[in-house]
Amino acid sequence: MLMPRDVYKYELKQGNKIVYAGITNDPTQRETQHRQGKTFDKMQIIGRVSTREGAEKWETGRLKIYMKNHNGELPKYNKTTTGK
């Protein structure tokens, strides 16, 4: 059985700085949720829609790369290295 490709990968940005990386199946609703408590300029969809498994792998990998490039720190609003 094929897994549905219905999960979006995204980053919240404040200027050029990534303040959050995540995944969702409803970008509009998720942006609205983020606007209640997080400060950011834009929500940028990354790549194409993918399976939940593929999106989760991207999210974990994206956070590892971010941390490698930022002295081991996560983006401002991410709480864990897996996004969960």
**End-to-end Cα separation, the chain, in angstroms:** 26
Q: Using DSSP, state whether 28 is helix, strand or coil.
A: helix
Which amino acid appears at position 28 of this protein?
A: T
Let me know if residue 83 belongs to a domain. Answer: no
Is 44 inside any structural domain? yes
Range of the domain at 62: 7-69
- 18 domain-assigned: yes
- With b for 16 or more beta-carbon neighbours within 10 A and e for fewer, the 62-84 pattern comes to bbeebeeeeeeebbebbeeeebe
Q: What is the pLDDT of residues 56-84, one digit of tens each?
A: 999 999 999 999 999 999 999 999 988 77
pTM (2 decimals)? 0.92
- Beta strand 7-14 with 17-24 is antiparallel
Asked whether residue 78 is assigned to any structural domain, the reply reads no
Q: What is the pLDDT of residues 13-49, one digit of tens each?
A: 999 999 999 999 999 999 999 999 999 999 999 999 9
In a domain, 30, yes or no: yes
Do the domain assignments include residue 24?
yes
Assigned domain for 84 exists? no
